[in-house]
A = this chain, B = another copy of it.
Amino acid sequence: MARAGRRPGPTETREQIIAAARRAFAEQGYDGATVRGIAAEAGVNAALLHHFFGTKQQLFVVAMNFPIDPAEQLPLLLSGPPEQIGERVARLFLALWGDPAGRAPFLAMLRSVASNEQAATMLRQFMVRTVLARLAEARGVPPLRVTAAAAQMIGLVMLRYVVQAPPLVDATDDEIVELIAPVLQNYLTPE
């Protein structure tokens, strides 16, 4: 029965899981999708899926081809001198988008989000749960201020790396950080 070619190999199984995860996140949102449901959809054991991919958050990061896991970045942003968190956030965004390979999945996501509401919902739920809420709580500032800081950086990397606005392309990272970091610092500091 288990002829060669009938039983999927590890790579094939991995691809099936990722495909199932993408469908589930798109159809049910980040909050609605479950590791158990994704495992069932992919025809694998939930424990196996968890063993290979970890939490739902980690599975999402892999499925979306994110170059980084925000769960790993957040402690780095929050460590170090509190009065320099604005600068650390600015440098992280510039580093992530400055690498063309790292930029590709962000661009794909941007297209999806602008094209369909399912993608927007999925990304929104993921961002709120894994980044915005945690950062707001850790810094003791309202989520609105954290979101305003995110808006500044998202707009900036879009204009620098996608639209390629000359003033941002011609400026050095240091010049941009000098201009932007105080704004981020203010947003991320309690009034």
Residues of A that sit less than 8 Å from B by CB: 29, 107, 110-111, 113-115, 120-121, 123-124, 127-128, 132, 142-148, 150-156, 158-159, 162-168, 171, 175-176, 179-180, 183, 186
Contacts and interface: CB of A to CB of B under 8 A. Distances in A.
SS of A interface (majority): helix
A143 B165 CA distance: 10
Nearest to A182: B186
B110 A114 contact: yes
A167 B147 contact: yes
A186 B183 CA distance: 10
Contacts of A164: 120-121, 124
A54 B136 CA distance: 50
A132 B183 CA distance: 20
Given A128-B165, A151-B158, 8 more contacts: A111-B115, A120-B164, A121-B164, A144-B171, A148-B180, A151-B152, A154-B158, A155-B156
A126 to B, nearest CB: 10
A189 to B, nearest CB: 13
Contact of A165 (B127, B152, B153, B180): B127
Given A111-B114, A151-B152, A183-B183, A144 B159 contact: no
Contact of A151 (B142, B144, B159): B159
A107 B119 CA distance: 14
A27 to B, nearest CB: 10
